[in-house]
Amino acid sequence: MAQDEFFSRLGGRFPPHGVPFLEPGPPPAPGQARRLALVLAYDGQAYAGWQVQPGAPTVQGQVEAALRRLCGHPVRILASGRTDAGVHALGQVASFDTHSRLDLATMARGLGALLPSDIHLRALGAVAGDFHARYSALAKTYDYYLWPACGASLFLRGRLWAHPRPLDLAAVRQALALLPGPQDLLALASQGSEVQGTTVREILEANLETWPWGLWRVRVTATGFLRHVVRNLVGVLAQVGAGRLGPDDLSAMLASGQRRQAGPKAPPGGLYLSRVYYRPWPGDGQGPEIRKG
């Protein structure tokens, strides 16, 4: 992994998005609805999360307000998933329907002008009528950045977790190695999670990359997540790295459905929704194999 990857992401060099955009075609007939999709990157520090909330600034609210001005009618966008207050995105995907005949290039320029500087439109295009940003997704990757014993973190606040103490790299990697495969994530979900059906998800990858100067990146790709799972997982990993828990304690928590003596969840500023996957592998070769079914 290139040592400058973290800062290159902050500088706008994002991972691939893989949204199945359609080839450009003729403009829609008057009154004809079409389905479009957006790929967004955003800094979540100023927002109360993705989802619209009364009296609070949200990413969804900002994007919908801009689209309403451009399309000339109210627009409701559906995201691949909700990010919480302070959480960032490198590749959030959202879909919406509109009967506006505005061409895509003009709409993209308009969004670029109307959206605040902390929300960036990466891509806009037409998608099939049955495409749904959330339900068509096969998997998602979240990256969590932390810097053990980094010292003063004045200029990194809200971008990563400046953990105050050293952490045992080998122990954390050992705990992560136990995760790939089907896992019941109930123990890592925060109370109040809205879950319909099973809480079992397929963990496709769970690994830790490090930089020589001290930064860590925990990457988890799964077919789905529950509320606060990644932040709670990183909180447990910090306890493992500090020697308060053993690597096998994470497996025991998952098996029991209870998160005991796990410490607090990791702060939101280190979490990034990195990528949403819509095609099974073999495909673009940018991620683990994903199969439908």
Within the chain, strands assigned E span 34-42, 78-79, 88-98, 119-126, 139-146, 181-184, 200-210, 216-222, 271-277
Q: Using the 8-state DSSP alphabet, how is residue 283 labeled?
A: S
* Known catalytic residue at 4: no
Catalytic residue among 4, 43, 84, 130: 84
8 A C-beta contact, residue 47 and residue 59: yes
8 A C-beta contact, residue 107 and residue 34: no
| Angle at the Cα of 237 from the Cα atoms of 232 and 238, rounded to 5 degrees | 95
Tokens 């500023």 identify what position? 269
Structure tokens at 183: 């896992």
Q: List the beta bridge partners of residue 202.
A: 182
**How many Å apart are CA 107 and CA 113, to the nearest integer?**
10
**How many Å apart are CA 13 and CA 41, to the nearest integer?**
11
Nearest one of 159, 179, 173 to 229, comparing CA atoms: 179
8 A C-beta contact, residue 203 and residue 179: yes
Nearest one of 85, 40, 30 to 67, comparing CA atoms: 40
Cα 142 to Cα 26, 82, 230, 233, distances in angstroms: 36, 12, 8, 12
Q: Using the 8-state DSSP alphabet, how is residue 254 labeled?
A: H
8 A C-beta contact, residue 37 and residue 130: no
**How many Å apart are CA 232 and CA 229, to the nearest integer?**
5
Active site residues: 84
